[in-house]
């Protein structure tokens, strides 16, 4: 292309997903102190999107901060609030009072 003096006039559009501050920010209750003295004192949840064999799956684990272990998780085909609430309901059945 450089020898023939050919150029491309079409601009490639870059994907930008950042939209600034959207929604509410939750209060920082634990002040980045992720250590816990007792089991089930501090729990962390997240949703991760995985691509396996051309299929996207959502993994939602729940981790106990005292041991650093994942003690329950769910795998769904798409991320949804119902996935997290169901996982939390199942986790609270396991957690002793």
| 58 in any annotated domain | yes
Number of domains in the chain: 1
Q: Which pLDDT does position 16 carry in this prediction?
A: 77
Q: What residues contact residue 41 under an 8 Å CB cut-off, 6+ apart?
A: 65, 66
Q: Which pLDDT does position 97 carry in this prediction?
A: 65
| 5 in any annotated domain | no
For 24-94, strand residue ranges (E) read 43-45, 48-52, 55-64, 69-76
Q: Which long-range contacts (CB under 8 A, 24 or more apart) does 80-84 make?
A: 83/47, 83/58, 84/45, 84/47, 84/60
Domain that holds residue 72: 43-94
Give just the sign of the alpha carbon dihedral 25, 22, 55, 80.
positive
| 72 in any annotated domain | yes
Q: Which pLDDT does position 1 carry in this prediction?
A: 59
| 69 in any annotated domain | yes
Q: What is the pLDDT of residues 39-52, one digit of tens each?
A: 888 988 888 888 88
Q: What is the pLDDT of residues 2-54, one digit of tens each?
A: 677 777 777 777 777 777 777 888 899 889 898 999 988 898 888 888 888 88
């Amino acid at each position: 292309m450089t020898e023939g003096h050919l150029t491309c006039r079409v601009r490639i559009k870059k994907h930008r997903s950042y939209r600034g501050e959207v929604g509410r920010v939750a209060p920082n209750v634990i002040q980045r102190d992720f250590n816990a003295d007792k089991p089930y004192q501090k729990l962390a949840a997240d949703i991760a999107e995985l691509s396996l064999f051309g299929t996207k799956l959502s993994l939602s684990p729940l981790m106990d901060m005292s041991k650093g272990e994942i003690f329950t998780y769910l795998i769904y085909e798409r991320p949804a609030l119902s996935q997290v609430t169901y996982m939390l309901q199942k986790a609270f059945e396991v957690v002793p009072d």
